[in-house]
Amino acid sequence: MRVCDLIERKRDRGRLAPDEIRTLIAAYTRGDVPAYQMSALLMAIYLNGMDDAELTAWTQAMLYSGKVLDLGHIQGAKVDKHSTGGVGDKISLPLAPLVAACGLKVPMVSGRGLGHTGGTLDKLESITGFRTDLPTERFIEMVDQLGLSLIGQTAEIAPADKKLYALRDVTGTVSSIPLIASSIMSKKMAEGIDALVLDVKVGSGAFMRTVEEARVLARTMVAVGEGMGRRVVALLTDMDQPLGLTCGNALEVVEAIDILRGGGPADVRELTLTLARVMLELGGADPDEAERALDDGRALARFRTVVEAQGGDPHLVDHPEKLPKAPKIEPFLAPRAGYVSAIDTRMVGLAALVLGAGRQQAEDAVDPRVGLVLAHRLGDYVEAGEPLLWIHHADVGVDDARRRLEAAWQIGDAPPAVRPLVLDRIG
């Protein structure tokens, strides 16, 4: 096989055979295909796409480039959830223990925040001692015994994806829908799951800005999963404003614990329960059990148990007010009276990032203490000089954050139309 032949065929809108794709990905993972040739092929895919058979073969080749977890000996349905990334998205923290408390197994391999989006691992590591780097054997043991474990991607899982993503990042091909879909699905399928629920974010704080774009991505991922013999459902959910009231790692953990206690912002509770019901449906369990397990304390108890099992301080689950706090809190005031008519959610995420809550490069450190706490959401009426939100900071990036927040918030004379949280279901 000559790689140049594959590049030329894809350039001319031809089709790659599954065995060619498997051979190519294996060779690239070993280092036998140079980056300049793979870059050319990625651009050809970006421009001309892949059909369903190509995409399934591409995803499978990345999946089997590394270790695929075998959870077959564990009794019960194995179901996970993946979010395409947003601002204030702490849903995995209450969702995973809730679903586990209802009897399903949740082997959750999560990521870190990058750019304006937050990461589940960074939030969990706000809890003193919490380890997200467990050995695979311990991860599997926890899924079996506790129904849940939350870790980061290991070097053994889909190593081809790690190499390809780094290349896409510097070749202008990150936004290719087939490449996004294969990247997500190869990592998720490596967890050994039976079913997957996808939370595809749509709006100013999401990678997919329009419902049409998000629907294409969702349908693509559902097709890939079904082509690999898994049940997959995608929900399109709104990201035209931050999810909940908090943006920042320890702040979001506090809010997640509030949800597990039966409280918290209405939108976070709604999305947690909606996703839990779909996961339970796919796992053959009673979807109505989700609300009962959230309100009777079972989900909170399971979270506390998992925190302790992964080295975290369970005392902080009972006393979240003792989680790390920023040394300073300042208001960000409404410039005029009126209704909150629009929020550039990506800009809000970037404001949290410059305070230290996120990272611009993968190796950047995050400050778990800092972030933003909203006082108002879309459609709320505010008086001039009333706080729109509170800035929790450590004297880093405050002026930059304020400039971004000024650009993010729009105050109008009439209340806006606020769309529902869940926009569509696919699968």
Q: What percent of the chain has pLDDT over 90?
A: 88
| 115, pLDDT greater than 80 | no
Residue 250's pLDDT is what? Answer: 98
Tell me the average pLDDT across 346-374: 92
- Report pLDDT for 348: 97
Predicted local confidence at residue 153, as pLDDT = 79
Q: How many residues does the chain have?
A: 427
* Per-residue pLDDT at 207 exceeds 90: no
pLDDT band at 274 (very low <50, low <70, confident <90, very high): very high
- Mean pLDDT throughout 168-181? 88
The catalytically annotated residue of 10, 78, 82, 123 is 82
Confidence (pLDDT) at 273: 98
In the chain, the amino acid numbered 346 is R
Residue type for position 328:
K
Which residue intervals of the chain bear CATH 1.20.970.10? 3-49
pTM reported for the whole predicted model: 0.93
pLDDT computed for residue 361 by the predictor: 75
Q: List, for residues 281-321, the tens digit of each pLDDT value.
A: 999 999 999 999 999 999 999 999 999 999 999 999 999 99
Active-site residue flag, 161: yes
410 forms bridges with which residues in the sheet? 342
Q: Quick check: 170 pLDDT over 90? A: no
Check pLDDT > 80 for residue 1.
Answer: no
Residue 425: active-site member: no
Asked if the model's pLDDT at residue 363 lies above 90, the reply is no
User: Is CATH 3.20.20.80 what the domain over 79-318 is classified as, yes or no?
Assistant: no
Average pLDDT in the 166-178 region?
87
Say which of 168, 215, 230, 302 is annotated catalytic: 168
The predicted structure's pLDDT at residue 150: 95
- Whether 168 is catalytic is yes
Question: What is the per-residue pLDDT for 144?
Answer: 97
* Mean of pLDDT over the chain: 95
CATH 3.90.1170.30 positions along the chain are 328-412
Closest to 354 in 3D by CA, of 372, 341, 376: 372
| CATH of region 328-412, choose from 3.40.50.740, 3.90.1170.30, 3.30.450.20, 3.40.50.300 | 3.90.1170.30
Tokens of 143: 């899924």
Whether 114 has a pLDDT exceeding 80, the answer reads no
Q: Does residue 183 carry a catalytic annotation?
A: yes
How confident is residue 117, by pLDDT bands cut at 50, 70 and 90?
confident
Asked whether residue 238 carries a pLDDT value surpassing 90, the answer given is yes
The yes-or-no verdict on residue 74 having pLDDT over 90 is yes
187 has catalytic annotation: yes
Candidates 183, 186, 194, 302; catalytic one: 183
Q: Closest Cα to residue 238, out of 264, 274, 279, 262? A: 274
Instruction: Determine the distance from the C-alpha atom of residue 307 to the mean position of all C-alpha atoms in its chain, rounded to a whole number.
Output: 20
Neighbouring C-alpha atoms within 13 Å toward the C-beta of 118 = 37
Question: Given this model, what pLDDT does residue 376 score?
Answer: 98
> How far, rounded to the nearest angstrom, does the alpha carbon of residue 126 sit from its chain's CA centroid?
17
Q: 3-49 maps to which CATH number?
A: 1.20.970.10
132-168 pLDDT, tens digit each: 999 999 999 999 999 999 998 777 888 999 899 889 9
Are 21 and 41 contacting, i.e. CB atoms less than 8 angstroms apart? no
Answer whether residue 390 shows pLDDT above 90. yes
- The mean-pLDDT minimum among 2-11, 34-43, 162-171, 374-383 falls in 162-171
Angle between the N-to-C axes of helices 35-48 and 159-169, in degrees from 0 to 180, rounded to the nearest 10: 80
Q: Where in the sequence of the chain do the CATH 3.40.1030.10 domains occur?
A: 79-318
Task: Pick the catalytic residue from 10, 112, 116, 187.
Answer: 187
Model confidence at 365, pLDDT cuts 50, 70, 90, reads confident
| Average pLDDT of span 43-59 | 95
Give me the catalytic one of 161, 199, 267, 344. 161
